[in-house]
Every structure is written in structure tokens, then in C-alpha cells.
Amino acid sequence: MRAAVVFTGSGPIVILTSFQSFSDPKFIEKLEAKGLTKFIAYEVPVADVRNKYGQHFDLVIKDVKQSDDLRVLDYNGHRVFHNFTFAELGQPFYYEK
């Protein structure tokens, strides 16, 4: 399981995925299906995300299959931006179609 803060045109979101890489074409296909054709993804430690979101994390994680799945944990950009420090963000992955 991986977690990421993804900066999109409408603001940051937090996602959970079972894809091993943000560059996986099927991962990108899933984001494109949600209308995200340009984004910057920063991996964040799953344990940190679990601590920040508590029970909501547990509810969402139950929906994520071990195969190729993707769930949006938080789409409130203001909350996401203030929930994570820049120091918590991993290396950026840039994508633009």
C-alpha cells in the first residue's frame, strides 16, 4: 500500500493505492479516468497518513483491494495542504499528458 499527496489543478488530494509505482501506466490511467491529466504526486508514509486520518483511513483502506486499485482519502485541498508539512513529502513525480 502506498499513500500520496497529489497536487492537481483544483488543489491537493490524498490517495491510497496498491500500485507499486506512480509511473505505472495503469495507475496513471486510473487518475486520468478521474480527470487528472496533469499532477504532481508526493509519496507520504502510510503510517503518517493513518495517524492523521484515524478511523476514516481505516474505512477507506478496507475498500482498497490488493490488486490495482486507487482510493481518494481526502479531497478537501485546504485540509490536505495543512495536514502535511513539506518535510513529510517524498520525491515528486510529475505527470502531464
Per-residue pLDDT tens for 2-60? 999 999 998 999 999 988 899 999 999 989 988 899 999 999 999 999 999 999 998 88
Q: pTM of the prediction?
A: 0.88
Provide the pLDDT for residue 16: 92
Geometric angle at alpha carbon 41, from 37 and 43, rounded to 5° = 155
Cα–Cα distance measured from residue 86 to residue 18, given in angstroms and rounded to the nearest whole number: 24
pLDDT, tens only, 52-88: 999 999 888 876 554 558 888 999 999 999 999 999 9
The SS3 assignment for 23 reads coil
